[in-house]
Amino acid sequence: MRKHQRTVIGYHCCDLILAENVLLRREKLNASHNDYDWLGGGIYFWEYGCQRALDWARGIAKRRPEIVRTPAVIGAHIHLGVCLDLLDVRFTERLSELFPLFDAGFRKQGIPLPQNELAHGNDRDLVRRKLDCAMLNWAIPMIEKDLKVKFQTVRGVFQEGIPAYPGSGILKNHIFKWWYATLTAFWAIFYRRLDR
């Protein structure tokens, strides 16, 4: 499998203090390991989506001010490298092939399959991606073994929001890309001033 030979700009939402500490190399970004993370465990970025990352940080600040007091965004130049790119049908087809094995494992243990679910009453999308997270965390090592690779990044596209206008397939909050990266994929990290 060939590496992606491109570098993209990704934006990560966080608290301002964390952003400053990361830039000063006092702290590192920590991977998320929630059971509802959309693409499994990792550090999440919006590809070319600074404003969307800021909107997400502002939402966290309202719901969980102990996590984000002052919304901020860190930008990163990220080399995709060996990427599980869910925009590539090779990988989505492989997930479809693996799902019956994943499902059978839960059935054999008598455990209900995780489900994607709403996080809040006003959600339009199943934002708690428990099924997707569990499936990807389970499938990624299998795909790596099959291909004899170690993924550095995982990339996916998700739609969110309401239609931009009546009958539209274009959503107001746009299509956004969420992906995570291992620390070896970072080329440079920068801060995007939000007051300009």
Which residue ranges make up each domain of the chain? Answer: 4-191
| Amino acid identity, position 34 | N
What are 21's two structure tokens?
A: 């500490």
Whole-number pLDDT of residue 179: 54
**Which distant-in-sequence residues (6+ apart) come within 8 Å of 134 by Cβ?**
35, 102, 114
8 A C-beta contact, residue 40 and residue 180: yes
- List per-residue pLDDT tens for the chain, 196 residues long: 666 678 888 899 999 999 999 988 899 888 889 999 888 888 888 888 888 889 989 999 999 999 999 999 999 888 888 999 998 999 999 999 999 999 999 999 999 999 998 877 776 677 788 999 999 999 999 999 999 999 988 888 877 777 878 888 777 665 454 555 555 555 566 765 565 4
Whole-number pLDDT of residue 175: 47
**Which distant-in-sequence residues (6+ apart) come within 8 Å of 192 by Cβ?**
11, 50, 73, 74, 75
Length of the chain equals 196
Phi and psi, residue 159, nearest 5°? -95, 150
**pTM for this one?**
0.84
8 A C-beta contact, residue 160 and residue 125: yes
